[in-house]
Amino acid sequence: MSEDIEAINVTKKSSARKSDVWNYFKRIETNGVFLAQCLKKECSKILSTPNWTTSSLIKHLNYVHKIRDLKKLPRYRFRASGGVQKLSKEKKSHIDRLALEAIIKDGRSFNDFNKSGLKRFIQNIFPEIEKKLVELNIFHKVTTITSDNAPNMLGLFQYLSRSDIKHIPCMAHVLHLILCNGLGIWETITDNNDKISGESTNENLINFDDSISQYLKTININSDGSCNMPISNVNQSVEEEIQSGDE
């Protein structure tokens, strides 16, 4: 543990140091995030301690090591200077309106998030989003994130400091794609200069939905109601479909 981390522990977590919990854990830092590692023999479990709380540590000792009657001190909530500022209703509405105007006036497309400029923006803004989730004491509670299978959505997971958060594909979105193609309501794209391009694009969409259908057949429903959903093949198909759409 570095001297800087030790200094933070002494000045900002002095109350946590008095808890009996810290007889069984030590502070560690991973990618700028403060965590706690269990000191029990053959355990070494690493747990998050959002806002310097010890609730997750006490639960671990109770359920895993059967250690009870631990002293839990009043919760210490660390806030940045000035606290978390909340937007007023008027300010939020104003920002929402500006965002809508920007999308309409600039003629933005949904595919913008696949472009290099916005990808770089996301890479820089995502750590701030995670920081806010930590401040709100909810980041450690996130276990899954549901979204469509677009590459730009799946790519967001690599910017999270936690690797245990699982992605769940949105089945409503997948079924929508299948039904649209099954009912023949895909709009055929035509071009006055090159009519073949419309037929080619529509054929790509059909192939894409065929791969989605095959993907659904591979889903295994367990006795407890949970599903095992392999997503590697469908992700590749989504990426190929988007690339063909860009062309």
**Which tens digit of pLDDT belongs to each residue from 111-152?**
665 677 766 776 677 777 778 888 888 888 888 888 887 777
In a domain, 217, yes or no: yes
CA count, 13 A, side-chain hemisphere, 9? 18
Q: What is the domain extent for residue 55?
A: 3-63
Which pLDDT score is estimated for 238?
A: 46
Assess if residue 39 is contained within a domain.
Answer: yes
Whether residue 160 sits in one domain with residue 43:
no
Q: Give me the mean pLDDT over the 36-54 stretch.
A: 80
Instruction: Name the residue with higher pLDDT: 39 or 232.
Output: 39
For the segment 38-47, the average pLDDT, to the nearest whole number, is 85
Rounded CA-CA distance 111/211 in Å is 21
Which pLDDT belongs to residue 113?
57
> Greater confidence, 120 or 77?
120
Q: Residue 242's pLDDT band (boundaries 50, 70, 90)?
A: very low
- 136 occurs within a structural domain: yes
Tally of structural domains, the chain? 2
Decide if 88 contacts 96 (C-beta within 8 A). Answer: no
pTM: 0.30
88 domain-assigned: no
Q: Do residues 125 and 233 share a domain?
A: yes
Cβ atoms of 54 and 71 within 8 Å: the answer is: no
Q: Model confidence over 188-217: pLDDT tens digits?
A: 555 555 444 444 444 554 455 556 555 555
- pLDDT of the residue at 52: 63
- Let me know whether 54 and 153 are in one domain: no
Is 53 in the same domain as 138? no
What angle in degrees, to the nearest 10, is found between the helix axes of 196-217 and 171-182?
130
Are residues 131 and 31 located together in one domain of the fold? no
pLDDT at residue number 175: 86
User: Strand, helix or coil at 106?
Assistant: helix
208 lies in some domain = yes
Q: Are residues 137 and 240 located together in one domain of the fold?
A: yes
Same domain, 129 and 199: yes
Q: Is residue 125 part of a domain?
A: yes
Within 10 angstroms of residue 120's Cβ, the number of other Cβ atoms is: 10
CB 154 within 8 A of CB 145: no
Helices (H) and strands (E) in the chain — how many of each?
9, 7
Q: Is residue 232 part of a domain?
A: yes
**27 domain residue, yes or no:** yes
Residues 145, 55: one domain?
no
